[in-house]
Amino acid sequence: MKIFLNGIEMQFAEGGYKYVFMKPYQHFKENTVNKENGDKMHIEFYDNGVQIRTLITKEEVATIINREIAIDTLNNKIYILEEGNEFRANPDGSVDILK
């Protein structure tokens, strides 16, 4: 199975990745649409403006987040950045948020 995040192919992580929001949220709504062929579309709307859409098929999982992201493969975190955020990707796969 292939896994994509904002068009970038990612390695599978046991237990998944944790989203880290640079702009906190208070509330969110989510919905899953099941198609007859077994595919699913999961949608999340957050009150900080972030939208996460995930298409799940037998062959792949593809997620689109409407923000720039930084992927920390060492700690299995996905940083959801806001305008003005800067980060540094380290050789070990970790990410440092600079501002």
Residue 85 has a pLDDT of: 97
Tell me which residue of 20, 22, 18 sits closest to 82, measured CA to CA. 22
Q: For the chain, where are the alpha helices, taking DSSP H only?
A: none
Residue 28 has a pLDDT of: 98
| 63 burial type by CB count under 10 A (0-12 exposed, 13-18 middle, 19+ buried) | buried
Torsion sign over Cα 58, 46, 11, 4: positive
pLDDT in tens, 20-74: 999 999 999 999 999 999 999 999 999 999 999 999 999 999 999 999 999 999 9
Tell me which residue of 53, 59, 41, 51 sits closest to 80, measured CA to CA. 51
pTM reported for the whole predicted model:
0.92
